[in-house]
A and B are shown apart, each in its own frame.
Chain A
Amino acid sequence: MAKAEYTVLGTDMPRKGGVERVVGKGVYGIDLNLPDALSGGVLRSEHAHAKIVNIDTSEAKAIPGVRAVVTAADAPDVRYGRSYIDRYILAKDKVRYMGDPVAAVAADSQALVKEALGKIKVTYEPLPVVVDPEETMKESAPTIHEDMPLPKNLPEGVQVKNVCGYAAVNIGDAEAAMAEADVVVDEVYETKMIHPQYLEPRIAAARPEEDGRITVWANAQAPFPVRTEVASLTGLPLNSVRVISTGIGGGFGGKGSGVTSSAGLEPICALLALTAKQPVMIVMDKAEETISTTIRSGCKIWIKTGAKKDGTLVARQGKVVYDAGGYSGFGNQAGGRCTQMVGGWYRLPNIHMDGFTVYTNKQVCGPVRGPGGPQATFAMESHMDSLAAELGMDPIEFRLKNVPEKGDGIVGVPKLRDSSLAETLNTAKEKIGWGKVKLGKNQGIGFATGAWIEGAGPGGGAVVKMNEDGSATVHIGKVDYGTAAPFGIPMIVAEVLGISTDDVTVLNVDTDASPWDAGTVGSRSMLVSGNAVKLAAEDARDQILRMAAGQLEASPEDLEIVDRQIQVKGAPSRSVSLASVCNAGHNEIGDVIGRGYFDSKASQADERERGSSQPFTTHAALVEVDADTGNVKILKYVAVHDVGFVVHPKAVEGQIEGAAAMSLGQALCEQVVHDSDGRTLNPTFVDYLMPTINMLPRIEAVTVSGYPGAGPYGTKGAGEIGSVPPMACIANAIYNATGVRVRRLPLSPENVLRALREAGK
């Protein structure tokens, strides 16, 4: 959307904390310097599935300088999890993937930690391993969690095992409608596991305090859930745990799901510190992370769609099998979202989908950047191109024929306030030059659309505290890892209070002081903290204006704050400085403290009433396929988005470009590779291939005017939706270039060449 009449909003103010980062100040968790801290480390299972017969820690404990050795036996008999409470702080009785934490050590040095971990003797009784998400559902598969029931909502008569989540979509009568279709396309797609691979390793540090409390430092996206889980797993009362968020070097949801995402690192560290009665810091190694922290799951998707000859979609049936890994993690939520999104965001009156989230002996699913969405969209939007081809229609025209309009429902959204899908499609078509650009040999253009459902979810608050010089200190519950906290949030405060962003300090999260928040996840920073901080700043402003009104002999409504001056509207010479009012406020109300919150219930009620405001996107790629090697080169990539009102253009573009790049990595080369024993074959960056600058074009992010979202000033979330279309977009471009449809990720040279050869090309 166009920049409205704002002073600060819509500009590209420098990132808060930017200078510290470019000169190399130690702002991250890994830079934490905790005096007298012991080093900590975790012993991880070397079996993907085994009974723990015995753990002998005596030799490790006997090493001089080793201060604590802990196992599950040292912690309360309490488990954690989201939909399934299925996991202990350290594995008890059984291990369920290679990398499952079994024991932990704190010692005077890292070398001693390594030595002690090597001296812990674990006796395992290996069990059969299942790594394939389809195999695990069969009767013959080993049981991964003996005491976890099948989901209560599982339809009657379904014979499955190792299922920890079920989601269905039932709209209209898909079976009957399918019979009426002129054209039916039935396909199967498969995606692989990727790791978010934020560059800063996970850390946790814990210090027992004199008063019996414990302070935990974490580079986690969700400090409050970390507090809850640390308290519960160590047996401390909640108010005895304080979690402080450090600066965070990337997360992408990988650091997002409470202690699940770190494989229990924070509570393990707290347990070590409580046992050793000394501070402890654990820094994970990146290779250790690849095998143990949460990932974007692989899944298998069956999708069948019927359409009329003119391209009108009539019915869709499908199934998703979503791999949660050794524990449920975020699997149920991500698998459910994936199942919904395979249903799509087009006008489609009859849909039936079954979604199963399953346990396997692999790393655990986390809420990685658009959980479930990129996988679903790889299948759904590739499938839309297959349908267009079967119908003999132009892929853009076919999609335009079926875009939802204002008032329509899409899966998961009963009523749309408006729709911008067509606008993004048409813009993408124009920007990539569809039908205009002359394609060379083995070159092709592909499109894929995307949506990301926002709205429902926890609320969250903000506090804006005015200082006597007119500056503002802001408490929110979202952390700074380069999204809204250092960009949009200070801009909103500055805009409302008539000050500069230089006058605004946004504090990182400290659970003792910050408002509660579910975590910096779900593209919700602006929706939750943006709305909250706007109201908090307005509350502060109103208090200030009330105090100034007396001095200026005007009513508060007639006052405004411009450039740190409070003035009478239309008579700027009648003014008083913001600082003087804040200072004088000490004698009246003490501090000016503004409070605001995002009211999720009210927001949902508004959505029911007026329809909900969703972001939409279309990506377009021009690729060249090397038919001899299968190598795919992206020559041009355009990401067109409706993200509502844009507070900080470069920050929004950066989110879109980064999200797209991450999924382009998954499209072309990224995957965590396992053997049949459940061993990760590419734990280090030597063979875990993320995009480097030489394999990507300059991704072009384009924002269209669209329509306003539910965020402050009409923003919509921008952090995840950019990761939704790229895999399908590249697959469709390959199809356009070669006539060959690749249905399995990654679209690596090998998989592409294999498909070309199988097609006789």
Chain B
Amino acid sequence: MDYFEPKTVSEALSLLDQHGDQAEVIAGGTDVMVDIKYSDEPGCLVNIKRIPDLNAIRESNGGVHIGPLATIHELEESDLVRERLPLLWQAAHQFASLQIRNTATIGGNICRASPSGETLAPLLVLEAQAEVTFSDGARTEPFGAFFQGPGQTSLGSRGLLTGISVPFPAAGSHAVYLKHAVRGPMDIAMVGVAVMATANGDKTALDDVRIGLGAVAPTPVRAPKTEALVSGKALDAALVKEAGASAASESSPITDQRSSGEYRGWIVDALTRRGLEQCWQALTGKEVA
């Protein structure tokens, strides 16, 4: 196996150009090390961990710029993330054990593109942008376009995720990330639901409701019909119930060793309801009647 430790992004990109499908990029290593152990070794390993300044977390252009090498625990420890991106902070806080959070990077979680990746549904809801770099140039794109299937991203085998731009959510918004798993943070989520909303001026209705679903489709997805169903409306029990069912119908979960597709649908329903109720209560000070 060939091994490289590029010191710059362009060096890394030229290695990817050179080795193509044979190359595997490694950052924190929490997924790649398992692959090396249990699958065949890649032809070549490109360790980007030592590229400087790719782990910065800083305010930038009305949002937060996150370097892909920032570890999950660095996100948790960042006041900027905690205060301005609480949805992402909640996802980071429920992301595996402390040992893993100290090692795993947000870029790795994103590029792995596992539908259950903990930070993915929150990034969709936050309408974050991926900064995608190839040897012939860089572009930004929304994560909705970035995620193309399980393990598939727009990076292909030659691109590198070089940054994540997360706009600040609207002032006064509230967001919750709900993860369903038997052992809480320790498990891969059976379902993850991110809900974010704001209230209208007199706090009688929700505005700009965004719902992201993890582990229930080939990629993390938004639930646009459900978002439209509840946006601009006052939440009552009937609407919450309808929204839960609607979100479930917008998911397309599979059955695997963790749970059945049918059960995942029930949980999407339950967590969407719960997320909406929590947002409603936080934004209006009232329980859903």
Contacts and interface: CB of A to CB of B under 8 A. Distances in A.
Contacts of B263: 749-750, 753-754
A687 B257 contact: yes
Contacts, number: 52
Interface string B251-273: 00000111110010011001101
A160 interface: no
Contact of B257 (A287, A631, A681, A691): A681
A694 B93 CA distance: 14
A695 B184 contact: yes
Contacts of B259: 749-750
B252 to A, nearest CB: 18
B233 interface: no
B182 A668 contact: yes
A687 B188 contact: yes
A629 B273 CA distance: 12
B237 interface: no
Contacts of A692: 183, 186
Contacts of A757: 266
Contacts of B186: 692, 694
A689 B187 contact: yes
Interface in B191-239: none
Interface residues of B, number: 24
A687 B270 contact: no
A681 B258 CA distance: 9
A628 B188 contact: no
11 contacts: A287-B38, A628-B273, A681-B256, A682-B257, A684-B38, A686-B34, A689-B187, A695-B182, A695-B183, A695-B184, A757-B266
Given A682-B257, A687-B258, A750-B259, A629 B183 contact: no
B19 interface: no
A748 interface: yes
A393 interface: no
Interface in A646-683: 668-669, 673, 681-682
Nearest to A629: B270
Contacts of A754: 263
Nearest to B270: A628
Interface of A: 285, 287, 628-629, 631, 668-669, 673, 681-682, 684, 686-687, 689, 691-692, 694-695, 748-750, 753-754, 757
Contacts of A686: 34, 188
B260 A750 contact: yes
A622 to B, nearest CB: 19
Contacts of B188: 686-687
Contacts of A695: 182-184
Interface of B: 34, 37-38, 180, 182-188, 190, 256-260, 263, 266-267, 270-271, 273-274
B274 to A, nearest CB: 7
A757 B188 CA distance: 25
A628 B244 CA distance: 12
B188 to A, nearest CB: 7
A629 B266 CA distance: 8
Contacts of A668: 182
A499 to B, nearest CB: 43
A673 B187 CA distance: 16
A754 B262 CA distance: 10
A753 B183 contact: no
Contacts of A684: 34, 38
B41 to A, nearest CB: 10
A689 B187 CA distance: 8
- Of B182, B188, B258, B274, most buried by chain A (CB within 10 Å of CB) is B182
Nearest to A683: B38
A31 B118 CA distance: 36
For the complex of A and B, the 7 pairs showing the least CB-CB separation, nearest first, are: A681-B257, A628-B270, A750-B263, A669-B182, A673-B257, A682-B257, A692-B186
A668 B181 CA distance: 12
A694 B38 contact: no
B115 to A, nearest CB: 15
Contacts of A287: 38
Given A689-B183, A750-B260, 17 more contacts: A287-B38, A628-B270, A628-B273, A629-B266, A631-B180, A668-B182, A673-B257, A681-B257, A687-B188, A687-B258, A691-B183, A692-B186, A694-B185, A749-B182, A749-B259, A753-B263, A753-B266
A757 B256 CA distance: 21
A631 B263 CA distance: 12
A125 to B, nearest CB: 27
A442 B140 CA distance: 48
Nearest to B260: A750
A754 B263 CA distance: 8
B25 to A, nearest CB: 21
Given A687-B258, A754-B263, A669 B183 contact: yes
A748 B263 CA distance: 11
Contacts of B266: 629, 753, 757
Nearest to A682: B257
A287 to B, nearest CB: 7
Nearest to B187: A689
Contacts of A691: 183
Contacts of B183: 669, 689, 691-692, 694-695
A684 B38 CA distance: 10
A378 to B, nearest CB: 18
A629 B267 CA distance: 6
A687 B186 CA distance: 10
A684 B176 CA distance: 31
B182 A631 contact: yes
A748 B182 contact: yes
Contacts of B270: 628-629
A749 B238 CA distance: 25
A291 to B, nearest CB: 12
A625 to B, nearest CB: 13
A689 B271 CA distance: 22
Contacts of B273: 628
Contacts of B256: 681
Nearest to B266: A753
A465 to B, nearest CB: 45
A659 B160 CA distance: 49
Contacts of B257: 673, 681-682, 687
A629 B182 contact: no
Contact of B274 (A628, A681, A694, A749): A628
A672 to B, nearest CB: 10
A695 B184 CA distance: 8
Contacts of B267: 629
Contacts of B37: 285
A39 to B, nearest CB: 15
A691 B183 CA distance: 7
A629 B274 CA distance: 11
A681 B274 CA distance: 31
Contacts of A749: 180, 182, 190, 259, 263
Contacts of A687: 188, 257-258
A287 B188 CA distance: 17
Given A750-B259, A753-B266, A694 B182 contact: no
Nearest to B274: A628
B142 to A, nearest CB: 30
Contact of B180 (A629, A673, A689, A694): A629
Contacts of B271: 629
Nearest to B186: A692
A254 to B, nearest CB: 21
B279 to A, nearest CB: 17
Nearest to A670: B182
A125 B42 CA distance: 32
B38 A689 contact: no
Nearest to B185: A694
A667 to B, nearest CB: 11
Contacts of B258: 687
A287 B37 CA distance: 11
A686 B274 CA distance: 27
A93 B256 CA distance: 33
B124 to A, nearest CB: 22
